[in-house]
Structure 1
């Protein structure tokens, strides 16, 4: 087996420069969540045109760590007390997932002509690495599943902030983040503890290990009042930008032809996901009187790390969002295999 070589430094620098340019343009134009959506859009476009784009694994983990720390700064006793109302919300999330998964798979079979297994794997609302591993054990079209899922995540990354802007009065410009920055020595201490926790979780093959490690450490320290304050902008904003850049690099090596074949499927799935998300959020907003911003981000089936970043940028309840996305991945672990045929279907 050939060893995995580190990315070329020039490739990394050009990729990060593109991401920074995308963030700057999006911020200047007033695009919602500019430091995430701008890099995602520009780097995706560059990758599709044939430019090789890469973000090193260590830099990716570092950005996940900072985003996790940022999520934990929103934890307080009032947030934890509100957790008693979450079971009803989890039921709403489960129902929305079923609608997206089964409804999306049916639409892909009927309107796009996918076979049963490819349609159901492509329609799975998240857990991409797990879905691709299932694809290798079936006769599914792995390339199609991968491109459709990647397009779905990109589309939701770009559209979720827009939907939040249309349905709420949240400030999506990121011109002023609430709260005073935490002391530098607090930040350094939390970072070291979170890095150690993330490394332990990664050795146990826990998904998004460094993001969860950062959130766990930060949640405990902020929930107990040991480390007040938010992650400073000089650390948070570059992390959001790298997160958006990372999303764009997923299109490296994907041709325009592959995207053209998968685009219709991705748009159908994204539209269905947004409809189900909005419906579930409206229902729970009426029943539980929770903020629409928090509900929309918690139910949107985008990537865990991406939705975590959006929750921090848009000041959603980080504990609520993180718990719901963790529950979504847990549910999909059992839901997707349950709806795959036991024998290879006829296509």
Structure 2
């Protein structure tokens, strides 16, 4: 299985939650793991990123089109085949930004509990499906690369401290995925400038990926089997719509710009920001590219979801 440190724990903790265990992560543990993941992503970036970045405006436009198409068809599917009311269908179909979606829907009359479960199924399914799709289709190129040069311990400590400070600042500014983005920014700055060399040690990155996978699984803590049965088909349906849109736009865009299809698929797949960025790192794709596009997706949804609720949320 590809990305086992991420996918394995997500499955195990999901099953544990569905069996009745009450599971959650302490906030500080979660934030530290996000810092490590962000720092790990930045260490794999090389100066060639400047050349690649010239093509990013085209892919950023493509992700907006991909998200809009997936959103429209997902809410249509939920209305027509699962008979969701219009507001629940729109909020359940949103390709990401769950906390914002739930806050928006609190006073709308939508079934927020159902929305949360459907969205959780989407995140889990994409975490499991996307790496398999990329690796088993042969799109991952040269596959997994095990780093051989690692940062020395003092630089690891300095990087974590700097990333924590930047992350707290980002959180005050309500930046999405604040600690992952902070780690990536610090790591990019120190590595591209040549101040620090080497990758984050694996004794930090593997536990961080395991924690991230486990956090995805905790979304199902407290969900009953009857609730899961009610939402499972709908969740898988919007997952398939999201994957189809991601693959379609990735293939079309790859005809016009020189970027790997696998990288575009992971960047366009509407999974969790942290999970998709970590997955890019695990699959030896450009994590900076992937993280940038997923953060752009979240910013776009902040403006588009309220409009979608007005346009499509009418019974």
Aligned to 2:295: 326
Q: Distance in 2 between matches of 1:115 and 1:179?
A: 54
Shift of 1:76: 2.6
- Aligned residue in 2 for 1:128: 98
Does structure 2 retain, via aligned residues, the 8 Å contact 1:168–1:292? no
Find the counterpart in structure 1 of residue 181 from structure 2. 212
TM-score (norm 1): 0.87
User: What RMSD in Å do the two structures reach over aligned CA positions?
Assistant: 1.7
Distance 1:156 1:306 in 2: 9
Corresponding residue for 1:78? Answer: 48
Residue matched to 1:295: 264
Following superposition, the deviation at residue 169 of structure 1 comes to 5.1
Structure 1 match to 2:65: 95
Deviations 1:239-283 (A, max 9, x none): 000100111111111111111111111011011111111111111
Whether contact under 8 Å (2:176, 2:295) holds in the other structure is: no
Moved more, 148-157 or 72-81: 72-81
Q: What pairs up with 1:33-112 in 2 under 5 angstroms?
A: 33-112=3-82
Taking the aligned partners of 1:41 and 1:71, their CA distance within structure 2 comes to 23
1:165 aligns with 2:135: yes
Does 2:242 match 1:261?
Answer: no
| Alignment of structure 1 residues 169-180 onto 2, 5 Å | 170=140, 176-180=145-149
Measure the CA separation in 2 of the matches of 1:208 and 1:339: 23
State the secondary structure of the residue aligned to 2:25: coil
Query: Structure 1 stretches (4+) deviating beyond 6 angstroms?
Result: none
In structure 2, C-alpha distance between the alignment counterparts of 1:147 and 1:236, rounded to whole Å: 29
Alignment of 1:238 with 2:207, yes or no, is yes
- TM-score normalised according to structure 2 size: 0.96
Q: Give 1:128 deviation, angstroms.
A: 0.6
Contact 1:66 1:235 in 2 (8 A): yes
Paired residues, number: 315
Q: Deviations over 1:302-333 (max 9, x none)?
A: 01011111011111112211111111011111
Contact 1:72–1:218 under 8 Å retained in 2: yes
Does 2:239 correspond to 1:270?
Answer: yes
Contact 1:33 1:173 in 2 (8 A): no
Contact 1:104 1:268 in 2 (8 A): yes
Matched, 1:227 2:196: yes
Counterpart position of 1:22? none
> For the Cα contact (< 8 Å) 2:143–2:284, is it kept in 1?
no
**CA shift for structure 1 position 80:** 2.1
Partner of 2:150: 181
8 A contact 1:48–1:251 mirrored in 2 = yes
Q: Tell me if the contact between 1:40 and 1:154 (Cα under 8 Å) persists in the aligned partners.
A: yes
Distance 1:82 1:202 in 2: 29
Out of 278, 298, 305, the position equivalent to 1:336 is 305
Q: Which structure is richer in relative contact order (CA contacts within 8 A, separation 6 or more)? A: 2
Instruction: Note closer, same or farther for the CA distance 1:121–1:172 as it changes in structure 2 (3 Å cut).
Output: farther
Deviation of 1:294 (Å): 1.3
**Structure 2: unaligned runs, 5 residues or longer:** none
Contact between 2:90 and 2:313, CA under 8 Å: does it hold in 1? no
Contact 1:32 1:172 in 2 (8 A): no
TM-superposed deviation, 1:172: 9.9
Q: Give the conservation status (yes or no) of the 8 Å contact 2:135–2:143.
A: no
Unaligned runs of 5+ in 1: 1-30
SS in 1 for 2:74: helix
Pair 1:282-2:224 in alignment:
no
Partner of 1:193: 162
